[in-house]
Amino acid sequence: MAGFDLSGLTASFGGERVIGPLTLKVKEGDQVALVGKSGAGKSTLIRLIHQRVDGQSSLVPQELGLVNALPVFHNVFMGQLDKHATWYNTITLVRPFKQDRKQVLELLDALRMSEKLWIPTASLSGGQRQRVAIARALYRNAPVLLADEPISALDGPMAHHVMQLLRDRFKTSVIALHDVEMAMKYCNRIVGIQNGQVALDEPTDQLAAADIMSLY
Rule CB under 8 A: which residues touch another protein? 54-56, 59, 61, 63, 65-70, 74, 78-86, 89-90, 93, 136, 140, 142
Q: What angle do CA 11, 17, 23 make, to 5 degrees?
A: 55
Cα gap 128→135, rounded to integer Å: 10
* Least CB distance to another protein at residue 198 (A): 26
Distance of CA 115 to the CA centre of its chain: 23
* Least CB distance to another protein at residue 75 (A): 8
- Alpha-carbon distances, residue 108 vs 10, 12, 104, 136 (angstroms): 37, 38, 6, 10
Contacts of 52 (CB under 8 A, 6+ apart): 4, 6, 9
* Least CB distance to another protein at residue 202 (A): 31
Q: Between residues 152 and 204, which has the closer beta carbon with respect to another protein?
A: 152
Q: Between residues 30 and 148, which has the closer beta carbon with respect to another protein?
A: 148
Q: Between residues 67 and 213, which has the closer beta carbon with respect to another protein?
A: 67
Q: Between residues 142 and 193, which has the closer beta carbon with respect to another protein?
A: 142
* Least CB distance to another protein at residue 98 (A): 20
